[in-house]
Chain A
Amino acid sequence: MRLKILVVEDDFTSRKVLCGMLSPYGDFDVAVNGKEAVRAFSDALDNGERYDLICLDIMMPEMDGQDALKAIREIELQKNISGSESAKIIMTTALSDSKNLMQAFQEQCEAYIIKPIRKEKLLEQLHLLGLVPRG
């Protein structure tokens, strides 16, 4: 089964790299800031679809990844989506400070990968989240 993925990333190169790594496993939509991400997420829900995976950058214009994460979880809570139903969100960011890291987990991200992103690392997380078989 191919995954439905949302890549949220404002930097062109990073986006390209990420999409390249993920392309064997699924199809993706792209958003370039938090606001777009939240809209894409709720639109999908309204259409009866769900993202299996959301890769979320933190430093972005308009709305940053932390706020987007919060907003997405808020929507899920309102719609009573929890447990395995909820979207798997991986933070993909250059920010490696503990404050951002803690906050992201506190807001219920599933994983936190610090750029530069290595394929191995990403795949390991996908595997841990049960999205792809172990590689």
Chain B
Amino acid sequence: MAEKDNSIGRMIESLSLQICILEAEDIPGMGKVYETISELEKSMPNSPCIAFSDIVQGVKQYLDRFVLNDVTDSKPLGDGVAMLQAIWRDISSGREFTFDVTDILEGLGYIPEDQKKTSGKEINATGSMEAHEDKPEAARSTGLTDEDLDITRDFVVESRGNLEVVELNLIKLEQNPDDMETINAIFRSFHTIKGVSGFLKLDKMNRFCHHTESLMDGARSGKLTINDEVADLILESIDTLKLMLEEVEKCLETRHTTSFDLIDVEKLIEKIQAVHTSDGNKIPLGKILLDSDVITEKGLRESLKIQKKHSEKKLGEILVREQNVDPEAIKSALKAQTLGKRATSLQVKVDTEKLDNLVDLTGELVIAQSMFRQLGQTLTADNPIFFHQLNQVTQAVSAIQKIAMSMRMVPIKNTFQKMFRLVRDLAKNSEKEADLSMSGEDTEIDRNVVDELYEPMVHMIRNSVDHGLESPVERESSGKNRKGSIYLRAFQRGGNIVIEIEDDGKGLDKNRILEKAIERNLITRGENLSEKEIYEFIMHPGFSTAKEITDISGRGVGMDVVKKSIEKLRGRLEIHSREGKGTVFTISLPLTMAIVEGMLVRVGKERYIIPTHSIIQSYRPDRKHCYTVENKGEMVRHRENLLPLVRISRLFNVKEDVTDPWNAIVVVTENHGVQKALLLDELLGKEEFVIKNLGETFREIKGLAGSAILADGKVGLILDIAGLFQAAVA
């Protein structure tokens, strides 16, 4: 880099020399200058500052005219290059460049890109009409007078107050988005900041405020609705302005104006402009009403005609008056219009592979960071500064991790919405009537999970419509609404995403399930089973209670597949049913697939991770509470129950340090309502682990869900409790 800097410095030097000796009609000399400047341009694809590239462009253009003999004065060229030298000196010594280059550019006759469109014919600004002498130009751009200083100080204080008021007003607007007075107040605050910042020559701030102001102007004139997206933008703008004010305050001490080089407003401005223009795309009110069958096409056409004549009237008003449309329907359609807009929020498409990589790498970062912490503990156990710094790193890393995770989250809405069509088609096919309603569509869920979830959900909804809901006649005779209802719900509970599929159909027939189970030799007659255990049978492969096989379900594939795919997502499927009332399928899924919170435990030399959600309790049992029961093996007492004791050492064939349960540790774990006690040597602590899968070779090993790299760089195995229980029985 330094070498490149040097060569640029040299180029500017030789440029200055070439221009010094340049005379009109010295074509070869001009050629040389042209060559050097092009080379300079090429060697700096990213210009260090706008002034620099403007001058380079200006010099180039002036040179063109010079070659054509349009101009004969080489002084502007010399001035330009001298300025380039000055800028370069500042940049390479790390100083901020603060000179005004407008004069130079003017001399070169160059109009910077961003001012081009506004430039018209030249007006001689330095006329004789000057009333008085003003302070010299330079003082304005490099330093502030006492008076400016006072104003600036007040400006910072006042603007902060203004911005706080805007924040408050925004909250007010959220409740009442059309409140003109509040919108006006926000507009005025931005206008004031814009005006004063312009007065103080805080150009970037002024320009930025101009955009926020016109955004609010759009809202004021009713062209733009303040929805969540716009509110977010305004809040973001407030934050940016606050940053700028801070910068201004800092510069007060040095009496310099600031150019806010470190604050990027362009992206935000782009966003603001996008919102501004995207608003034109809102779905016409008439179309929404038409789609929801509130109005007829003829009625709409007539109303639109009326609107054309009386342009001050809103379509909604006309519809209510002329077509007797329910005002509530208009209201909800207007709301839908805003919602539709929200869906067009600014997004960037990113390759999912990149996202997954990011999440993966963040995982590695978390690990590296905790390894570092451990190293720190051994190297410098009591250095507070070290740990203070490390804590900051930890905070940043965990924030990054959260963001990385959240980037993989998508609302479940799309999956849910696909079900509308499905329910409609299914009901039609089976000559039933069904209504689908949903809540929590905005619940976010890991994108990898969403895809995997679609199929099981289709299966379950099929089941609900086909087996759950009765025919309209049946329903009426049992006193229910002809139309059956299916509810889809999604919400977060603890560390889980819960999805419920509920129908108000006839519920599961316990006796039929039992019969079928006996028929298929799954149980023997007379066995006493809990309700839960009975329902579990319908998730058994090839199990179907449907009397006749229909087009869509009842072929005996279904619930077992559902169960498997949900377990693959480390989720749980529960069934609750009441005869005659309906059935609820509850899927609980972990929030994210990439991280598991677990207890790190040791057995001999190996370390394992037990997912926290399946841990009930860990304790050291009394000697008298350990039994060996015939046919069932070792058991320990946990509260009032006897639980089978599972020796992890035996399952995975490692050597345990402690063989007697009363000297070791027992961890009670639960899966699907079954509890078992795991025997191990030591508990090492609770942590979050980034899951790495075991790869193809080890995929089939029962009882292992994956692996994680531990803080010391070694590998720990994550236990899969469901698989472990099965392996323990076998």
Residues of chain A at the chain B interface (Cβ within 8 Å): 17, 20-21, 82-83, 96-99, 101-102, 104-106, 108-112, 115-121, 123, 127-128, 132-135
* Chain A residues closer than 8 Å to B24, beta-carbon distance: none
Interface stretch, picked from B124-132, B256-264, B265-273, is B124-132
Contact status A102-B154, CB under 8 Å: yes
A-B contact count (CB 8 A): 82
* Chain A residues closer than 8 Å to B188, beta-carbon distance: 106, 108
Given the known interface contacts A82-B220, A102-B154, the answer about A117 and B196 at a Cβ–Cβ threshold of 8 Å is: no
Interface stretch, picked from B113-121, B600-608, B609-617, B692-700, is B113-121
Contact status B118-A105, CB under 8 Å: no
Contact status B129-A21, CB under 8 Å: yes
Contact status B132-A134, CB under 8 Å: no
Closest-by-CB residue of B relative to A73 is B188
Give the complex CA separation of A20 and B199 in angstroms.
Answer: 23
CB distance from A91 to the nearest CB of B (A): 10
Given the known interface contacts A83-B220, A101-B151, A106-B188, the answer about A119 and B130 at a Cβ–Cβ threshold of 8 Å is: yes
* Chain A residues closer than 8 Å to B127, beta-carbon distance: 119
CB distance from A108 to the nearest CB of B (A): 6
Give the complex CA separation of A39 and B524 in angstroms.
Answer: 101
Segment 172-231 of B: residues with Cβ below 8 Å from A: 188, 191-192, 195-196, 198-199, 217, 220-221
* Chain A residues closer than 8 Å to B199, beta-carbon distance: 101, 105, 111-112
Closest-by-CB residue of A relative to B121 is A133
List 26 A-B residue pairs with CB atoms under 8 Å apart, sorted by A's residue number: A17-B129, A83-B217, A97-B151, A98-B151, A98-B155, A101-B199, A102-B192, A102-B196, A105-B191, A105-B192, A106-B188, A108-B188, A111-B195, A111-B198, A112-B199, A115-B132, A118-B131, A118-B132, A118-B134, A119-B129, A119-B130, A121-B134, A123-B125, A133-B118, A133-B119, A134-B123
Closest-by-CB residue of A relative to B210 is A128
Contact status A98-B154, CB under 8 Å: yes
* Chain B residues closer than 8 Å to A105, beta-carbon distance: 191-192, 195-196, 199
Contact status A134-B118, CB under 8 Å: yes
Asked if B147 lies at the interface with its beta carbon under 8 angstroms from chain A, I say yes
Residues of chain B at the chain A interface (Cβ within 8 Å): 115, 118-127, 129-134, 147, 150-151, 153-155, 158, 188, 191-192, 195-196, 198-199, 217, 220-221
* Chain A residues closer than 8 Å to B154, beta-carbon distance: 98-99, 102
* Chain A residues closer than 8 Å to B125, beta-carbon distance: 119-120, 123, 135
Contact status B123-A135, CB under 8 Å: yes
Closest-by-CB residue of A relative to B148 is A96
Contact status B220-A102, CB under 8 Å: no
**10 closest A-B pairs by CB:** A135-B123, A133-B120, A116-B132, A98-B154, A105-B195, A98-B151, A105-B192, A17-B131, A119-B129, A134-B119
* Chain B residues closer than 8 Å to A119, beta-carbon distance: 125, 127, 129-130
* Chain A residues closer than 8 Å to B151, beta-carbon distance: 96-98, 101
Give the complex CA separation of A134 and B117 in angstroms.
Answer: 10
* Chain B residues closer than 8 Å to A83, beta-carbon distance: 217, 220-221
Contact status A82-B195, CB under 8 Å: no
Give the complex CA separation of A20 and B131 in angstroms.
Answer: 10
Give the complex CA separation of A65 and B342 in angstroms.
Answer: 44
CB distance from A10 to the nearest CB of B (A): 16
* Chain A residues closer than 8 Å to B198, beta-carbon distance: 111, 128
Closest-by-CB residue of A relative to B162 is A106
Contact status B120-A116, CB under 8 Å: no
Contact status B129-A20, CB under 8 Å: yes
Give the complex CA separation of A83 and B129 in angstroms.
Answer: 32
* Chain A residues closer than 8 Å to B126, beta-carbon distance: 120
Give the complex CA separation of A132 and B121 in angstroms.
Answer: 10
Contact status B115-A134, CB under 8 Å: yes
* Chain A residues closer than 8 Å to B134, beta-carbon distance: 116, 118, 121
Contact status A98-B115, CB under 8 Å: no
Contact status B131-A109, CB under 8 Å: no
Give the complex CA separation of A83 and B217 in angstroms.
Answer: 6
Give the complex CA separation of A130 and B124 in angstroms.
Answer: 18
Give the complex CA separation of A118 and B130 in angstroms.
Answer: 5
Contact status A108-B221, CB under 8 Å: no
Closest-by-CB residue of B relative to A16 is B131
Closest-by-CB residue of A relative to B119 is A134
CB distance from B20 to the nearest CB of A (A): 32
Give the complex CA separation of A83 and B195 in angstroms.
Answer: 15
Closest-by-CB residue of A relative to B194 is A105
Give the complex CA separation of A100 and B123 in angstroms.
Answer: 32
* Chain B residues closer than 8 Å to A104, beta-carbon distance: 195
Give the complex CA separation of A35 and B311 in angstroms.
Answer: 36
Contact status A112-B220, CB under 8 Å: no
Q: A102-B192, A110-B195, A119-B125 are in contact. List 13 more A-B contacts (CB 8 A).
A: A82-B221, A96-B147, A97-B150, A109-B195, A111-B198, A118-B130, A119-B127, A120-B126, A121-B134, A127-B118, A128-B198, A132-B123, A134-B123
Contact status B155-A135, CB under 8 Å: no
* Chain B residues closer than 8 Å to A106, beta-carbon distance: 188, 192
* Chain A residues closer than 8 Å to B129, beta-carbon distance: 17, 20-21, 119
CB distance from A114 to the nearest CB of B (A): 9
CB distance from B452 to the nearest CB of A (A): 51
Give the complex CA separation of A82 and B158 in angstroms.
Answer: 24
Closest-by-CB residue of B relative to A127 is B118
Contact status A135-B192, CB under 8 Å: no
Closest-by-CB residue of B relative to A99 is B154
Interface centre among A99, A117, A135 (most CB of B within 10 A): A135
Give the complex CA separation of A110 and B195 in angstroms.
Answer: 6
CB distance from B123 to the nearest CB of A (A): 3
Give the complex CA separation of A118 and B134 in angstroms.
Answer: 7
CB distance from A78 to the nearest CB of B (A): 13
CB distance from A45 to the nearest CB of B (A): 19
CB distance from B135 to the nearest CB of A (A): 10
Closest-by-CB residue of B relative to A17 is B131
* Chain B residues closer than 8 Å to A110, beta-carbon distance: 195
* Chain B residues closer than 8 Å to A101, beta-carbon distance: 151, 196, 199
* Chain B residues closer than 8 Å to A116, beta-carbon distance: 131-134
* Chain B residues closer than 8 Å to A98, beta-carbon distance: 150-151, 153-155
CB distance from B436 to the nearest CB of A (A): 45
Give the complex CA separation of A109 and B191 in angstroms.
Answer: 9
Closest-by-CB residue of B relative to A113 is B199
CB distance from A20 to the nearest CB of B (A): 6
Give the complex CA separation of A62 and B248 in angstroms.
Answer: 38
Give the complex CA separation of A101 and B153 in angstroms.
Answer: 13
Give the complex CA separation of A111 and B191 in angstroms.
Answer: 10
* Chain A residues closer than 8 Å to B130, beta-carbon distance: 118-119
Closest-by-CB residue of B relative to A130 is B118
Give the complex CA separation of A21 and B132 in angstroms.
Answer: 13
* Chain A residues closer than 8 Å to B119, beta-carbon distance: 133-134
* Chain A residues closer than 8 Å to B122, beta-carbon distance: 135
Give the complex CA separation of A105 and B118 in angstroms.
Answer: 25
CB distance from A72 to the nearest CB of B (A): 15
CB distance from A99 to the nearest CB of B (A): 8
* Chain B residues closer than 8 Å to A133, beta-carbon distance: 118-121, 123
Give the complex CA separation of A20 and B120 in angstroms.
Answer: 22
* Chain B residues closer than 8 Å to A17, beta-carbon distance: 129, 131
Interface centre among B131, B132, B150 (most CB of A within 10 A): B131
Interface centre among B124, B191, B195, B196 (most CB of A within 10 A): B195
* Chain A residues closer than 8 Å to B191, beta-carbon distance: 105, 108
* Chain A residues closer than 8 Å to B118, beta-carbon distance: 127, 133-134
Give the complex CA separation of A112 and B129 in angstroms.
Answer: 20
Give the complex CA separation of A50 and B155 in angstroms.
Answer: 32
Give the complex CA separation of A99 and B151 in angstroms.
Answer: 8
